[in-house]
Structures are given as C-alpha cells and as structure tokens.
Amino acid sequence: MPSSPIIDRRILMFVDDIYEDLELWYPKYRLQEAGAKVTLAGPRAGTRYTGKHGYPATSDLAIGEVEAQNFDGVVLAGGFAPDKLRRDEKVKDLVRHFHQRRQLVAAICHGGWIAISAGVYSGVKVTGSPGIKDDLINAGALWMDAEVVVDRHFVSSRKPDDLPAFCRGIFQVLAAQ
C-alpha cells in the first residue's frame, strides 16, 4: 500500500446528542481507513451520545480535556448538536486555534454553526445547509450552493448526499498541509 499524506494525522470531531449520524460516521471511517487517528470529544468523556437517527457514538475525551496542539484539524458534523456545542467556549477556542494555524476546519450541514460562533468565516467561501444560509452570510461568509467548497484550509458541504465530495475536500486540504 503506498504511503498516504493522511497517515497518522490526528483529527478532532465533536459529538453530542442529536448529531447527524452519517455526517459523523462517514468522515470518521473514511479518515480512519486512510490512516488518520480520529478522536470524538463530547461534553463528557466515555459518554454515549445518540444521533438523530438513533445511532450511538461514545466520546473518547471530554471537550474540556482537548489540547489543540495534539490535533491537525477538526471536522464539524451537522445535526442539532452543533447548536448546543457552539455555546461552549472551549469548542469555539479550538476551532479558532485550527483556523489561526491554517489547519483543517471542515463543516457539513449545520456544523457550520460552530464555525460561525467561533468567528472564523468572515470572507470565506462556504456552503452548508440551506437552513443556515442566512446565518453564514450574516457571519461574513461568501455563500455558494455546491456539494463541496474548499477555500484554503476550510472545507464545507451541504448535506449527507454530499459526503463523498466532502471527504475528498478534507483529503485535499490534509494532503496540502
């Protein structure tokens, strides 16, 4: 098997109840398949969270325990969990950390709410769920209706159907870092 630029990359993902099942699991498994190490951080460590469609995910770490320098980027899954997670100052600090270091910040669907609250989307070309289009625009993002938008270290997609393109965008950014 040829060497991959993804091998041994450390990727952070957040989890809380009512996450969008596919938007968490699909990128998690694709990244793991490519050799990345993915960590799920939730409000509490070792806690089982339930997705919108009932699929459980157990957090590896508590958000408060996450040390940003131990990761190469973040993937923000959608669902309704981002509306709760974006209220956590540590979550926003972590997203700002990755942005300031030009590391991967990838958001799909409502995951963009977290990046909005972190204040990192001003002047960034993005897409997301049509339900948060106005929020993205009001945050200073440059809205595009596309299955994936890659702008520097940012990757964004609209919905579960866009997951293959979303993951290709993630791999593109990680390979360039």
Torsion over CA: 108, 75, 13, 119 (sign): negative
**Residues belonging to the active site:** 110
Q: Are 120 and 76 in contact (CB under 8 A)?
A: no
Beta-carbon-side half-sphere exposure of residue 102 (alpha carbons within 13 Å): 4
Q: What is the CA radius of gyration of the chain?
A: 14
Q: Are 45 and 38 in contact (CB under 8 A)?
A: no
The number of angstroms, rounded, from the C-alpha of 68 to the middle of its chain's C-alpha atoms is 14
